Amino acid sequence: MDKMQTSALGTRLFVIAALAATAWALVYKTGVASSDEAGIVLHLPEQVGDWRGVDLLFCPNRDCGAQYSAGQLEDPTVCPKCGASLGNMNWAERSMLPADTGLVRKYYTRPGGRDPLHATIVLSGNDRSSIHRPQVCMTAAGHEIVAERVVRIPLAGPAEPLEVMVLDMAKSYSDANGAPAVYSSYYAYWFVGKDRETASHLARMFWMGYDRIVRGVSHRWAYIALSGQRRPGSDAHLQTIADFASQLHPALLKPE
């Protein structure tokens, strides 16, 4: 059996073990205590290195769907178009996510408007379904995933490198003249649990099952996502992700 076959077999066995452990824990394990404890702080700082962030606000009215940055509005609590109460979730998120889901997001730019990106943290509530595999949402929204890879980002001090999943995406649309065009973007993410970080959805599911079986507890998990535009044929966005994530990471750690 060659190395590629061995690797593929190992991956399949891990997937089977992860799903089996999680299914057993979810169905048969009793006496599992839900914990409000999370592995990160649900907060995005205004400054990350030389990036400065602004809050994004959304109208929950599906027929309106307006989006604003907080600095645009005299009254950041009310949509100036339809009068609905603004919040940090759009209508789709409000309708799909459990009510106790935590969410924060900001739009960051560097001086001169360089390297703009969106940063989002989603924190599960009592219903752990708040956190899911992001690829499902990306393809449902019409994005084609053209590349998928894990990058290892060095962190300051003795910490292990941070592993981040990066999706290179493309979405077709019609420009102002009706001509076909393609928007190229990226979506990078990693999951954080109590004392755990991973870029793998399957690993997260495994650790959820492990904690329920061995520790008898179900912690709140979060995922951190970074997204922005990329240049086709270029990997420059990987450096942007690494620069931002390495400086954001310490701000997300819970104080000892």
- Confidence at residue 150, expressed as pLDDT on a 0 to 100 scale: 97
* Position 5 confidence tier, pLDDT thresholds 50, 70, 90: very low
The predicted pLDDT at position 133 comes to 83
Task: Say whether pLDDT at 49 is over 80.
Answer: yes
What distances in angstroms separate CA 110 from CA 68, 91, 104, one per listed residue?
19, 29, 20
Confidence of residue 145 (pLDDT cuts 50, 70, 90): very high
pLDDT band of 12, cuts 50, 70, 90: low
pLDDT, position 161:
96
Query: Tens digit of pLDDT for each residue in 104-121?
Result: 999 999 999 899 999 999
Quick check: 27 pLDDT over 60?
A: no
The yes-or-no verdict on residue 16 having pLDDT over 70 is no
Q: pTM of the full predicted structure?
A: 0.82
Segments forming the whole domain that contains residue 200: 3-56+101-252
pLDDT value at position 82? 93
Tell me the per-residue pLDDT of 193-237, one tens digit each, with 9 for 90 and over. 888 999 999 999 898 888 888 878 878 899 999 999 999 999 999
pLDDT band at 46 (very low <50, low <70, confident <90, very high): very high
Q: What would the DSSP string read from start to end of the chain?
A: --HHHHHHHHHHHHHHHHHHHHHHHHHH--SPEEEEEESB-S---SEETTEEEEEEEE---TTT--EEEGGG-SSTTB-TTT-PBPBSS-HHHHHHS-TT-EEEEEEEE-GGG-S-EEEEEEE--SSGGGS--HHHHHHHTT-EEEEEEEEEE--STTPPPEEEEEEEEEEEEE-TTS-EEEEEEEEEEEEEETTEEES-HHHHHHHHHHIIIII-EEEEPEEEEEEEE--TT--HHHHHHHHHHHHHHHHHBPP-
- Residue 111 falls inside a structural domain: yes
pLDDT at position 4 over 50: no
How sure is the predictor about 98, in pLDDT bands with cuts at 50, 70 and 90? Answer: confident
Q: Does residue 67 form part of some domain?
A: no
Q: Is the pLDDT of residue 1 over 50?
A: no
* pLDDT 10s digits, 54-87: 999 999 888 998 999 888 888 989 999 999 999 8
Kindly state whether residue 239 falls inside one of the protein's structural domains. Answer: yes
Residue 108 lies in a domain: yes
Report which residue type is found at 166.
V
Q: Structurally, how many domains does the chain consist of? A: 1
- Band (6; pLDDT cuts 50, 70, 90): very low
Work out the percent of the chain whose per-residue pLDDT is above 90. Answer: 52
Residue 77 maps to a domain: no
Residue 25 lies in a domain: yes
Query: Is 69 within a domain?
Result: no
